[in-house]
Amino acid sequence: MTASATAQIVVFILILTALAVPLGGFIANVADGQRHILMRPLGWLERLLLRLIGTNPHEEMTWRRYTVALLIFNGLGIAVLFLLQMTQGDLPLNPLGLPAPTPEVAMNTAISFVTNTNWQAYSGESTMSYLTQMSGLAVQNFLSAATGMAVLLVFIRGFTRRDSDTVGHFWVDLVRMTVYVLLPLSLLFAIIFVTQGVVQTFDSHAVVSTLQGQDQSLALGPVASQLAIKQLGTNGGGFFGVNSAHPFENPTNLSNILSILGILLIPAALCFAFGHLIKDRRQGVAVFLAMLIIFIPVTVATTAAEQAGNPVLTSLGVDQTASQLQPGGNMEGKEARFGITQSTLWATATTAASNGSVNSMHDSYTPLGGLGPMWLMQLGEVVFGGVGSGLYGLLIFAIIAVFVAGLMVGRTPEYLGKKIEAREMKFASLAILLPCCAVLFGTAIAVAVPGGREATSNPGPHGFSEILYGLSSGANNNGSAFGGLGAAKPLFAWLISAAMIIGRFGVMVPAMAIAGSLARKSSVPVTTGTLPTHGPLFIILLVSVVLLVGALTFIPALALGPIVEHLQLTSAGVLP
In SS3 terms, 327-346 reads as: CCCCCCCECCCCHHHHHHHH
Question: Alpha carbon of 248 to those of 96, 224, 519: distances in Å?
Answer: 18, 9, 48
Closest CA to 91 of 63, 131, 38, 47: 131
Domain boundaries, the chain: 39-208+217-273
Q: What was the pLDDT predicted at 323?
A: 46
Give the three-state DSSP class for 393: helix
Kindly report the three-state secondary structure assignment for every residue of 469-535.
Answer: HHHHHHHCCCCCCCCCECCCCHHHHHHHHHHHHHHHHHHHHHHHHHHHHHHCCCCCCCCCCCCCCCC
> CA 109 to CA 82: how far, in whole Å?
8
If we measure between CA atoms, which residue out of 217, 20, 31 comes closest to residue 125? Answer: 217
The list of the chain residues with pLDDT below 50 reads 318-324, 573-576
DSSP code per residue over 167-197: ---HHHHHHHIIIIIIHHHHHHHHHHHHHTT
Nearest alpha carbon to residue 45 among 157, 182, 167: 182
Whole-number CA gyration radius for the chain: 23
pTM value? Answer: 0.94
User: Are the C-beta atoms of 154 and 391 separated by less than 8 Å?
Assistant: no
> What is the SS3 assignment for 287?
helix
pLDDT of residue 568: 87
pLDDT digits (tens, 9 = 90+) for 494-509: 999 999 999 999 999 9
Report the distance separating Cα 240 and Cα 122, nearest Å.
10
Residue 345 burial by Cβ neighbours in a 10 Å radius (0-12, 13-18, 19+): buried
pLDDT number for residue 315: 53
What span, in angstroms and rounded, lies between the C-alpha atoms of 331 and 49? 49
Q: What SS3 string covers 434-455?
A: HHHHHHHHHHHHHHHCHHHHCC
